[in-house]
Amino acid sequence: MAGSEDSRSLRGDAAARALRLTFQYRGRGVRLIGSQRLVMVVPPPVTPPPARGQSGYWIELIDATGRVVYHRPLYRPIAVDAEVYAADGKQTIARVPVANPEGEFTVLVPDLPQADVFALHGPPDPESPAEPARELLRVDVDALRKFPSARPEDPSAPDAPKGS
């Protein structure tokens, strides 16, 4: 069971610490809006690391030498279409494009001491998922660890760490 850093101290080995990262997207733009430190075991990667030039979405933790120390694929974190039911009842479900995609998604990553950078990869245009992925966002892991847990709707919440 996950517990926040506020309710339980971070203890144990690195495998029991995690960061819950929350992102907001609007159209093609993605930004980090929240980071919370947790006491939690994050499952290890179950796929080979993604190759540059491949399509899809994935996250990476990278050490100071540029080596990927954790990765995980993401399944369609940016919703560009929605399931709708036909009014006539003849067609059960259809997918229709969303005119202005916007929403939020959350990912969990282990809080590894050797992690230096968090990177989110995906297609430059969410409506063209077969395009080769590129880095959409890069954030310093130390900034993620210090990120306040307040939500952006809270007027007293400071600005999020800036990604590139």
Environment class of residue 67 by beta-carbon count within 10 Å: exposed (0-12), middle (13-18) or buried (19+)?
exposed
| Residue stretches of the chain with pLDDT short of 50 | 1-12, 14, 150, 152-160, 162, 164
Q: How far is CA 52 from the centre of its chain?
A: 18
pTM, to two decimals: 0.77
The sign one gets for the Cα dihedral 65, 125, 139, 145 is: negative
Model pLDDT, residue 149: 64
Please tell me the distance from the alpha carbon of residue 25 to that of residue 56, in angstroms, as a whole number: 16
Model pLDDT, residue 12: 45
What one-character DSSP code corresponds to residue 124? S
Please tell me the distance from the alpha carbon of residue 141 to that of residue 15, in angstroms, as a whole number: 16
